[in-house]
Amino acid sequence: MKKNDPFENVITIDGPGGAGKSTLAQGLAHALDWLCLDTGAIYRALALTLTELGLPDATPRAAGLTAQDMGLEFRREGAQCRLFLHGREPGEALRAPEIGLLASAVSAWPEVRSALLPIQRAAGREGRLVAEGRDMGTVVFPEARLKFFLVADLSVRAERRRLELAAQGVEVTLAKVTAELKARDLADATRSLAPLAPSPGAVTVDSTDMTVAEVLALALQEAKETFDL
Ligand code: DC
């Protein structure tokens, strides 16, 4: 990578489900007027596509081919990247717990990860991007100048996710959300390819006892210092 590579002008946020990555990524992108990329939504889009095709038990090869052929497109709207599949916006269907679990399962496959890697890098080509996921700092944007690893206790993450879903009209019990997060944490952190892990040099933030505003203020301060803004 050359100096001044656009990928240097990327902020990565990795961490387990429900830690507040999307909220922080959106807040940072909005405050900096950068673009925000939710890469979990890409894996969820594949899981939704497989489900709709009646292929939840697809082989890794079929899932990889589907990933290349799901008509994934991003349309920029302010700081947001809106995701479309063959011109249709899947919206809240992506957030269902079973789609999260299937996304986690298919994301362990090399065929899927290699199909989705160029799509994620293409979004970062122009820099000034806040990218959130599991392997943003370790694999997709290792050159990023600022990396966060956001964590929080499981009970707090589960309650936040439950409230988030309830606000979208999806009623799920706390026990179900907790079990789903726990299963995904384990699968995402123990897979052999691009496991969830802090990148060397990442700033770890434990948001268990912090408000959204406090996490954002801390991250914004880091961003201003790192990028001389
Ligand atoms: O962030 P999320 O909960 O929407 O992600 C759904 C799943 O997608 C997650 O359990 C693992 C996978 N994922 C991944 O493997 N790599 C990423 N960069 C983002 C998500």
Ligand 1: residue of 26, 104, 192 to mutate (most ligand atoms within 8 A of CB) is: 104
Q: Is the beta carbon of 135 within 6 A of some atom in ligand 1?
A: yes
- For ligand 1, atom 16, the nearest C-alpha belongs to 134
Interval between CA 224 and ligand 1 midpoint (Å):
27
Given this model, what pLDDT does residue 126 score?
A: 83
Q: How many angstroms does the Cα of residue 77 sit away from the middle of ligand 1?
A: 22
What pLDDT does 4 receive? Answer: 60
Distance 21 CA to ligand 1 centre (A): 11
Q: Where are the domains of the chain?
A: 7-204
Segment 180-207 shows an average pLDDT of 95
CA-proximal residue: ligand 1, atom 2 (nearest): 40
97 lines ligand 1 (CB under 6 A): no
* 119, two tokens: 């799509």
Is 7-204 a CATH 3.40.50.300 domain? Answer: yes
Per-residue confidence (pLDDT) for residue 1, from 0 to 100? 46
Over 80: is that where the pLDDT of 6 sits? no
Contact (CB, 8 A) for 9 and 145 = yes
Residue 76 has what pLDDT?
Answer: 86
Distance (angstroms) between ligand 1 centre and the Cα of 211 equals 23
Minimum-distance ligand 1 atom for the alpha carbon of 187: 10
Instruction: Report DSSP letters for the chain, one per residue.
Output: --TT-GGGSEEEEE-STTSSHHHHHHHHHHHHT-EEEESHHHHHHHHHHHHHTT-TT--HHHHHHHHHTS-EEEEEETTEEEEEETTB--GGGGG-HHHHHHHHHHTT-HHHHHHHHHHHHHHTTT--EEEEESSIIIII-TT-SEEEEEE--HHHHHHHHHHHHHHTT----HHHHHHHHHHHHHHHHH-SSS-S-PPTT-EEEE-TT--HHHHHHHHHHHHHHHHT-
Single-letter amino acid, residue 207 = S
List pLDDT tens digits, range 44-69: 999 999 999 999 899 999 999 999 99
Convert the pLDDT of each residue in 72-124 to its tens digit: 998 888 888 899 999 999 988 998 889 999 999 999 999 999 999 999 999 88
Neighbour count for residue 22 (Cβ, 10 Å): 16
For the segment 184-201, the average pLDDT, to the nearest whole number, is: 94
- Write the pLDDT tens digit of every residue in 128-175: 999 999 999 999 999 999 999 999 999 999 999 999 889 988 889 999
Higher-scoring residue by pLDDT: 40, 124: 40
